[in-house]
Structure 1
Amino acid sequence: MSLYTEDIEICECQWYLFSEMENHVGEEGMKMVNHTENGHVDDAVTVEEKECEDGLIYKVTDNPPMHLTILFAFQQALLSLANQLALSLMVAEAVCGDKNPEFKTKLLSTTLLMDGITTLAMVLFGVRLPLFQGAAFEYVVPLLALQTLYPDRCDAGKPTVTTMFNETTGMNLTIVTNATVDEWDLIMSHVQYLQGSLMTAGFIHFLIGATGFVGLILNFVGPVTIVPTILLIGIYMQRAAVKFVSVHWGIGLLTAGLSVIFSLYLARWKLPIPMWTKKRGCHVMRYPLHQVFAILIAMLIGWGVSGIFTACGLLEGNDLARTDIGHEAIADANWFYFPYPGQFGPPDFSVSVFVGFLIATMISVLDSIGDYYACAKTCNVPPPPNHATNRGIAIEGLCTFFSGIMGCGHATSTYGGNVGAVGITKVGSRQVFVLCGIIYIAFGLVGKFSAVFITIPHPVLGGALIVMFGMFIGVVLSNLQYVNLTSTRNLAIIGLSVIMGLAVPYWVEKTPDGIQTGNENADRILRTLLGNANLTGALLACFMDNTLPGTKEERGITAWQSSETPEEGQSSVYTQGDISLYDPLLPERVKNLSIMKYIPFLPNPKLKQTKRDSFMSEEMHSLPAL
């Protein structure tokens, strides 16, 4: 999904938007000219050239009209819907619940609900930028590692078949005994291990932000460490994509191919859409609808092809690719379902699971910080100050803790794809993302909605995963722009980290008895640690990057720091907002208390006063002499 493409001209892709905003010309600083009879784009709408260059139509602090807010909020909500479905199904498979429609429906509802709550918390109380919070893909690696290291974890819920030889009759006797553990109880036991482990990891995540520990981490971690670490996530996730798409390669590749065609090959073509407005009557607007919703449209087409194949009898015996499987789940699902804490039982704890989640948490923190700065750059506002970054990480950790209580089995994290969508739509209003969070809460409460989406054929979902994971890897590699790629030092660190991150988990998978310390619990913990590609790659990259001689410019750290800290006299380039937009929603009297300077996630009132005095001094010097 080409969400980071910014070559769409405002005057073309936002035709309808400008015509609807004609009554708000004064507020947005846009100029409209009279419509001509031929209705061409260039004649119909003219926007100030400066506004097109600066970017946003609606700034971070602006409030668009409600009907436009609803339109943009639904667009942002639908962009990442497929990701939420994919990760919830991976959690279901990890806990042996992939064959239980009731559990999958409840799990997806819980995921959507927590996505909405976390998005609201981030926009209103966190970093206060237009950001969407969704299921964190950093947690895919530990989930896949659990499946690889413990392939027999689901056998306890299956009936056992024993074959005995009867000497009297001379015949074999097959005895089928009932499952030792009920299927639902087996699923719940696995979920409860995820719950307690995720709650603990979420609490540590919260402490990293609340104590300001993020700044210390960034002193030792740069692009040379982050790129191979997150790259290993994308490479490792191909296992999940292949598992889904291999059910029917034809349908899967069709879905993936259509996504690529819509998002890339047809990126410069604008879809003509007939519209009617009170000002212009019937007319045609051109908007890249097929590009913005490329994956969703491709999934709908793939779903339809699966339906045709099912009706024609071409998918006999291939239940995971059929569309007539799972109708009972839709019929049995309640119209409204209210996820609640402890719905899957009391939380339990597993050291092995916790270690995997803790590694994912650290990677998620670094990934989110990068998204914060990317969003600020897209919105043309100052980079987030330390207190806003700390508060954002703390909110993510707190919501991860509550995701564990609710039984999601994964954390929530910032989605860079939605940041790219802000660049395309030119709408960065926080109000849009507040409504987006409310929409996801509504999705989570409507049980039928989740039940419909869990019936999507596996090859359709696999095709979408190929494109999403491919885009994920591409975005990760783009961070190498800050690094000197002609340096043998950097190339060696990146290459060795990736190869060791792949080799060590492969050895653990192929030689399950290779680790024998004499203690079963210690063996399990070591297998989990070494079986996690992120841990091996991250530790090796971080160690080599901080011990091998190299300048900060060579390592890419200087470029990161310069992008995060504006140079002197550069504040005037931020035309879409100032540093005050990051202030928390607190009364002024509270924000001016002297104790605030000791709280890492709240602004220092003394620094704010210094900046205000400096600004007033510059303004006074700029006044003409009397």
Structure 2
Amino acid sequence: MEQQSEVPLLKRPGNGDHIANNANTNTTNNDNDIADTVGDQAEQDAAQDTSVSIENKQTRKLFYRISESPPLHLISIFALQQCLMSIAGSLSTSLLVSELVCAKDVELIKSQVLSSTMFMSGVTTFLMVTIGVRLPVFQGPTNIYIIPLLALSEMQEWKCPTQEQLAEYYGNSTQNVTVDTRGQYPVPLEIIHGKLGTLMGSLMVVGFIHFLIGATGLVGVLLRFIGPVTIVPAITLIGLYIYKTVVRFSETQWGVSLFTAVVALILSLYLRGVRTPLIAWGRKRGFYIKWFPLHQVFAILFAILLGWCLSAILTVSGSLSDDPLSTDYYARTDSRNYVIRQSPWFFFPYPGQFGMPSFSASASITFLLATGFSVLDSIGDYSACARMCFVPPPPTHAVNRGIAIEGAMSFVAGAVGIGHATASYGNNIGAIGITRVASRRVFQATGVLYILMGVVGKIGSFFITIPYCVIGGGMIIGVGIFVGIVLSNLQYVDLNSSRNLAIIGVSLLLGLMLPHWVEKTPDGIQTGNEDADRIIEVLLSNPCFVGGVIACFLDNTVPGTTEERGLNIWQQEYAEGDTTTSGTWEEGPEVYQPPFVPECLKRSMISKYIPIIPSYYKDPSHTK
């Protein structure tokens, strides 16, 4: 059974706290005893009482720890906030997939892709938190998988047909077709399903490889050659390159986007030392004032709601254009209300819903690269989440389980046809640091809520109506936190070393230069082989690949000690948990214990050969 959390821990010290008052009373009585009693025993008793009093007065770093469960009404609100924090990523990625498969104006496909994305995010999050790494890590369409989508969109074979090509297509076809209100021909469903099928097959192959990396324990092998000097440039480039997507949403109304971001920053950072007085009631105490950091805990939720209200005011006042071709049209709150009316009440995603999967070498290579860096990013996310939750670093068996769950669910996501895999979402890890709520129950509820949004079509469609500018404001905070979490891995590295500074700087620079050159000169690569040109173009257009490969090569060839490279602490953290800073932990390594695994199996010889469970087996020959 997991511990239950009591709300009085959240009260401001000295405001009617019975525990503090009792501790102060005990301390006063003990001081009187010391004055009246002479002897060593009395002094020892006083020292013991003083230690107990100090322990009671210790402040907690988290409002709710991983294994604690808030009240049900707070769980639902916390889960809603986590959903709103990550809904921008789900919506933006599903829209990118829809644009890639030429379904930008096909609302039915867009709604199905979004519903399937939310459904898979919910299932993966619930499994990850429950039986995976067991940290409060949200699983969703991470930024790493946006890079392959952007790279594929630049390739000729993934270009959508023009209106002239569609007119010729329908002219040679016997089917009846009607143009939309703008006089545009719709893209045939067989073309859309064909492109989705290509993404499906490629993701299924890559997801299976991802699963094997975790299930076989290959993560430890990767950590021998890949450390913070490699991960920081590679993953940072994702955050820097993803600015195009943030601009795409924010430019609809920059004022609302910045307003949303500024509100979140003020509530979470500038007012983090302030607590809000709330009226509470208890059976014994009746009505009383309870001090609670309401604005900090719900900073993201309040920011999104206030940004939404500002968009509604601008919509009603006529400040935003009602022309669908205008940039600020999607900043209106009523621009996509028809999606709610047209969407079905219930939608059940299932494998093969968009047809049979197919295979593409270029798509598979891009997703394989994204998967490799997704594994490394997840390892960094696990470590960052453990630091945010003030628990020991995850041991090897927990990391292996987490990577295996991600891979298995990426395979299922490919079969369902959402066009991207699911991985650890760094934005929500940053939200833990802002709200100081790390309860596992909250993220399980977040997974269930995402499943409901995916199955109940009306709920998912409601979130589609969020103005793009509000989503952009949320992404400013989310992507910013994501980059900050990645840069936190530099704490392992000797930043006084010119070797490390040169490797990181050169990798970042080339990771920005080469993709920009490929974008500006699409015919710059001419090897004489069209397939080779396509593969090289895909590789060089991926900033994560360019920066990561250069950093990894230099880090493993340029002489440097393990301490200088940060590999000693990096690898130690993923052995069986670091025990050097146990004084700062809120909970111990028991948070990583997998459920439903019998103790006898953990202590048997078989556990040595199962990388996803802890092994307590002791060789009899070494017992003595």
Which deviates more from structure 2 when the two are superposed, residues 323-332 or residues 528-537?
323-332
Among residues 114, 124, 129, which one is paired with 1:123 in the alignment?
Answer: 129
Which residue of structure 1 lines up, in the alignment, with residue 27 of structure 2?
none
Q: Secondary structure at the match of 1:527?
A: helix
1:431, CA displacement in angstroms?
3.5
Q: Secondary structure at the match of 1:346?
A: coil
Q: Secondary structure at the match of 1:399?
A: helix
Give the share of equivalent positions with the same residue, in percent: 48
Q: Secondary structure at the match of 1:606?
A: coil
Matched, 1:248 2:244: no
Structure 1 pair 568–121 and aligned structure 2 pair: CA distance change class (3 A): closer
> Which string of whole-angstrom CA distances, capped at 9 and with x for unpartnered residues, describes residues 251-284 of structure 1?
3333333333333333333344444444444444
1:63, CA displacement in angstroms?
5.0
Give the partner amino acid of 2:201.
Answer: G
Which residue of structure 1 lines up, in the alignment, with residue 451 of structure 2?
441
Would you say the 8 A contact 1:101–1:326 is kept in 2?
A: no
1:72, CA displacement in angstroms?
4.4
Among residues 185, 188, 194, which one is paired with 1:189 in the alignment?
Answer: 194
Which residue of structure 1 lines up, in the alignment, with residue 271 of structure 2?
266
Which residue of structure 1 lines up, in the alignment, with residue 496 of structure 2?
486
Among residues 11, 16, 34, which one is paired with 1:15 in the alignment?
Answer: 11
1-side partners of 2:87 and 2:225: how far apart? 35
Which residue of structure 2 lines up, in the alignment, with residue 595 of structure 1?
606
1:143, CA displacement in angstroms?
1.3
Give the partner amino acid of 1:408.
Answer: I
1-side partners of 2:371 and 2:306: how far apart? 36
Among residues 517, 527, 543, which one is paired with 1:507 in the alignment?
Answer: 517
Would you say the 8 A contact 1:14–1:425 is kept in 2?
A: no
Q: TM-score, normalised by structure 1?
A: 0.81
Would you say the 8 A contact 1:132–1:433 is kept in 2?
A: yes
> Which string of whole-angstrom CA distances, capped at 9 and with x for unpartnered residues, describes residues 420-476 of structure 1?
555566654434433332222122212111111112222222232222222222222
> Which string of whole-angstrom CA distances, capped at 9 and with x for unpartnered residues, describes residues 312-367 of structure 1?
33323233232222222111112222111112222222211221111111111112
Number of residues of Structure 1 aligned to a counterpart in Structure 2: 572
Matched, 1:582 2:593: yes
Among residues 527, 531, 534, which one is paired with 1:524 in the alignment?
Answer: 534
2-side partners of 1:567 and 1:102: how far apart? 50
Would you say the 8 A contact 1:248–1:321 is kept in 2?
A: yes
Instruction: Show the 5 A alignment for 1:91-490.
Output: 91-150=97-156, 153-156=159-162, 182-316=187-321, 317=323, 318=326, 319-422=329-432, 428-490=438-500
Would you say the 8 A contact 2:268–2:434 is kept in 1?
A: no
Give the partner amino acid of 1:136.
Answer: T
Would you say the 8 A contact 1:124–1:585 is kept in 2?
A: no
2-side partners of 1:355 and 1:56: how far apart? 42
Structure 2: unaligned runs, 5 residues or longer: 1-5, 24-51, 169-181
Structure 1: unaligned runs, 5 residues or longer: 1-9, 23-29, 36-45, 163-175, 615-626
1:573, CA displacement in angstroms?
7.1
Give the partner amino acid of 1:402.
Answer: V
> Which string of whole-angstrom CA distances, capped at 9 and with x for unpartnered residues, describes residues 90-115 of structure 1?
32233333333222222222122111
1-side partners of 2:330 and 2:579: how far apart? 59
1:487, CA displacement in angstroms?
1.6
Q: Secondary structure at the match of 1:344?
A: coil
Which residue of structure 2 lines up, in the alignment, with residue 81 of structure 1?
87
2-side partners of 1:568 and 1:610: how far apart? 27
1:54, CA displacement in angstroms?
5.9
1:303, CA displacement in angstroms?
2.7
Give the partner amino acid of 2:598.
Answer: P
2-side partners of 1:258 and 1:56: how far apart? 22
Q: TM-score, normalised by structure 2?
A: 0.82
Give the partner amino acid of 1:192.
Answer: G
> Which string of whole-angstrom CA distances, capped at 9 and with x for unpartnered residues, describes residues 38-89 of structure 1?
xxxxxxxx99746745645655445555555445444444443333233323
Give the partner amino acid of 1:526.
Answer: I
1:571, CA displacement in angstroms?
6.5
1:33, CA displacement in angstroms?
4.9
2-side partners of 1:496 and 1:155: how far apart? 39
2-side partners of 1:298 and 1:82: how far apart? 13
1:576, CA displacement in angstroms?
2.2
> Which string of whole-angstrom CA distances, capped at 9 and with x for unpartnered residues, describes residues 214-243 of structure 1?
001001111111100011001110011112
